[in-house]
Homo-oligomer: A and B are copies of this chain.
Amino acid sequence: MKNLNICIAGLGNVGSAVVGLIDKNSQYIKNKSNLTINIIGLSAKNRDKERNFNVRDYKWIENPIDLLNINDLKPDILIELIGYEKGVSYELVKTALSQKIHVVTGNKAMLAMYGQELFRIAEQNQVSLLFEAAVAGGIPIIKTLKNNIFLNKVKKISGILNGTTNYILTTMETQNKSFEDVLHDAKKRGFTSDNESKLDIGGYDAAHKLTLLSTIAFGVNVDFNLNKVEGIEKITIEDINFVKHLGFRIKLISESFLINDMICSSTKPKLIPLDKPMANVDGALNAINVETDQLENLYLEGEGAGGLATASSILSDIFEISNNSKFTSIGYNINDLKKYQKFDSSNLESKFYLRIRVKDQPGVLSKITTYLNDSNISVEKILQTPDKKENNIPILIITHKIKTSELLNSVNKISDLEFVNENISIIPIE
């Protein structure tokens, strides 16, 4: 029989679900794993918010830092679910680790920015800093990489790591609505806030998660600056409809791989063929595909958000701490992590989808094709769609394979043409 005393800082959806689960399943957990989890203290901004449990059943601590010493009792594990990259959460986690308290967190922003430092402090103090809940909600991708397939050489890891953007893209398609309308709905329904949506829609939240995946998959330093990040703000409903017609779906894809001993990590919209599982990941689901020297594809799909699913990941970290004597947070010793240079992805080849908006002048389509040809962009498919706005007609193009830098050069020239209206939209094809 093992006893673990835990305290929880932050009681939003996930924190509340953790409390509820531990309460509801305590006997089940005891029977199944000989483990007793005692919640010895809770702390959050607002004590009186309505929650799925009665806060009075637990010891309430006003200042989260005091969770680390409750009447001279030191918790075994601090569960940090406050969020934000710096501030209270960072100080709290750092202090806990220094006091040899294990930390379980869902805070991807903090770890993407300060993980290198925090994992080192954990290692020095021989405690764990675990973060299954920080990446892909309920999908146990961290443990899969760190424990299950650690002796594989990972070649590439890619996935849909942000539920909000995936929900927006899915809803735009199913309801034939604009990006702005769907985002507005999502905010109104409380699915995302102004603050969150900036991180989500801009691709930063997914890039935070990819930073952590890259570290575990390739042993690269935790370094957010290795990421190239592009959001979904510019995706229009006509993009979605046109590419669907051609057998693709637009997804915000985060991917990371080693090339020429450098790392290429990007989060950006991509066109995924409809017959790939990743194209059919709907709503707030997340998915991850891992390619290794031993596995052509290992594909995981599940809930990327939600209190209960993410609480499952928190519990799995508690379980790991209860079982493990080695307490390695990321699989590697921190000094074995390597500094990699960022690979210049403009050297990569790909097919591309282009959307060019033009004035409705006679012969504009033939002018565009001539310019494309002169600019060495070889066209696989081209479509001019009818539009109400006569002076702003979209021309939609699928190119053959071309080096990104060459395409960008050519697109820049085309942008300068007087009958071309706005920025040309460019999305690579998987």
Contact = CB atoms under 8 A, between A and B. Distances in A.
A238 to B, nearest CB: 24
Contacts of A148: 140, 143-144, 147-148, 316
Contacts of A295: 138, 302-303, 308-309, 312
Contacts of A316: 147-151
A320 B149 CA distance: 10
Interface string A285-319: 00000001111111111110000110110011011
Given A148-B316, A150-B316, A151-B316, 7 more contacts: A28-B153, A32-B219, A33-B151, A147-B316, A147-B319, A152-B315, A294-B311
Interface string A27-50: 011011100000000000000000
17 contacts: A21-B294, A29-B151, A32-B150, A32-B332, A143-B148, A147-B319, A149-B316, A151-B318, A277-B301, A294-B308, A294-B309, A295-B302, A295-B308, A295-B309, A296-B309, A299-B301, A324-B324
A299 B297 contact: no
A189 interface: no
A25 interface: yes
A319 B150 contact: yes
Contacts of A29: 151
A308 B151 CA distance: 12
A77 to B, nearest CB: 14
A389 interface: no
A323 interface: yes
Contacts of A320: 147
A388 interface: no
A300 B298 contact: yes
A275 interface: yes
Contacts of A318: 151
